[in-house]
Structure 1
Amino acid sequence: MTSRAMHDRTQAHHPHRTSGWLTFAGTLAMVVGAFNVIDGLVALFNDDYYLVAQNKIMVFNFTAWGWFWLILGAIQVVVGLSILTGKLWARATGVLFAVLAAIGHVAFLQAYPLWSVLTIALCVLLIYALTAPPAGATGA
């Protein structure tokens, strides 16, 4: 059998290219989203948990930040599931919300520095994982 025939038969079984990066990105988006949901719930229900004494971070109070993180995290979890199912729109949306989360955590550095730096690093890794795979690839 020629290599062309074997190649055609292989493509018939796997019409889409899979990417481990996209599987990783979908999982990481859900993890970062879950972290952000936790941040939001803590900010809503336990103002004393964070280190800022004035109950303000830049321009928002903890209640506003709590809702921001809760909504952003929930969206990131849904986007992560959509990345795993191979939705192309989810890759672009995942990048957008990872950027928003990273910027938000820069503003949140005063309240919880170590957690914010860790989450910013995860967001940067997520952006790479979403932009590195080829255009037609899907998560495994």
Structure 2
Amino acid sequence: MSNPDTEKQTNAGSERVEPRAPEQRREWAMAHAGAGAGGSRWLAFGGWMLLLAGAFNVIAGLTALFRPDYYVVAGGELLVFGFGAWGWIWLAFGVLQVAAGAGCLGGMRWARITGIGLAGLSAIGHLAFLAAFPLWEFAAIALAVLVMYALVVPDEDAVA
């Protein structure tokens, strides 16, 4: 006896596949999507957020270099260093973060580890830059913490 759900019927030389039962179609529609070709959704999210944080740091670095009057701090000094030094620091961090973010999107392990370290150092740096632009710095610290979390979360297929 054949299964009626998968049985092909011939009708005047053409083949027709019988539709599945409604219960089977619902199971198929409710199935979870996989993470992709050996990738992790968290890793992709972390890579995109790292790219975003890197772009923000590049913008902050360029702003500190070319428009130091944009930031308002008494005496023109920050906790450590001046605006010129911070401009180069943020520019370097931003470029490295963009490169690491692209590596994370490519599934590179070195990029994941580098991204975690850069996000941690970036959070500390934004804490030192807090007096210059408090609201933005709190947002940047939160983004750095989010990046660290996304890159530390284990892959879905990881075994403890």
The TM-score bracket by the shorter chain reads 0.7 to 0.9
Count residues with an aligned counterpart: 124
Task: Name the aligned partner's letter for residue 74 of structure 1.
Answer: V
CA distance in 2, matches of 1:125, 1:25: 8
Give how far 1:59 is off: 2.1
Deviations 1:64-86 (A, max 9, x none): 00000000000000000000001
1:78-97 superposed matches below 5 A: 78-97=99-118
Instruction: Tell me which protein shows more helix as a share of its residues.
Output: 1
Matched, 1:23 2:40: no
Runs of at least 5 residues in structure 2 that lack an aligned partner in the other structure: 1-34
Give how far 1:17 is off: 2.9
Q: Which residue of 2 aligns with 1:132?
A: 153
1:90-129 superposed matches below 5 A: 90-129=111-150
- RCO (CA 8 Å, sep 6+): is it higher in 1 or 2? 1
Q: Measured at CA, do residues 135 and 94 of structure 1 come closer, stay the same or move farther in structure 2, by a change above 3 Å?
A: farther
Q: Measured at CA, do residues 77 and 94 of structure 1 come closer, stay the same or move farther in structure 2, by a change above 3 Å?
A: same
Tell me, yes or no, if the aligned pair for 2:55 and 2:94 is still in contact at 8 Å: yes
Identical positions, percent:
52
- TM-score normalised to structure 1 length: 0.83
Give how far 1:133 is off: 2.6
Deviations 1:32-70 (A, max 9, x none): 000000000000001110010311111200000000000
Q: Measured at CA, do residues 54 and 15 of structure 1 come closer, stay the same or move farther in structure 2, by a change above 3 Å?
A: closer
- Which one has a bigger Cα radius of gyration? 2
Q: Which residue of 2 aligns with 1:76?
A: 97
CA distance in 1, matches of 2:92, 2:157: 29
Aligned counterpart for 1:61 among listed residues 38, 62, 82: 82
Q: Which residue of 1 aligns with 2:72?
A: 51
Runs of at least 5 residues in structure 1 that lack an aligned partner in the other structure: 1-13
Q: Which residue of 1 aligns with 2:22?
A: none
Q: CA RMSD in A?
A: 1.8
Tell me, yes or no, if the aligned pair for 2:39 and 2:107 is still in contact at 8 Å: no
Task: Name the aligned partner's letter for residue 25 of structure 1.
Answer: G
Q: Measured at CA, do residues 135 and 96 of structure 1 come closer, stay the same or move farther in structure 2, by a change above 3 Å?
A: farther
Tell me, yes or no, if the aligned pair for 1:16 and 1:136 is still in contact at 8 Å: no
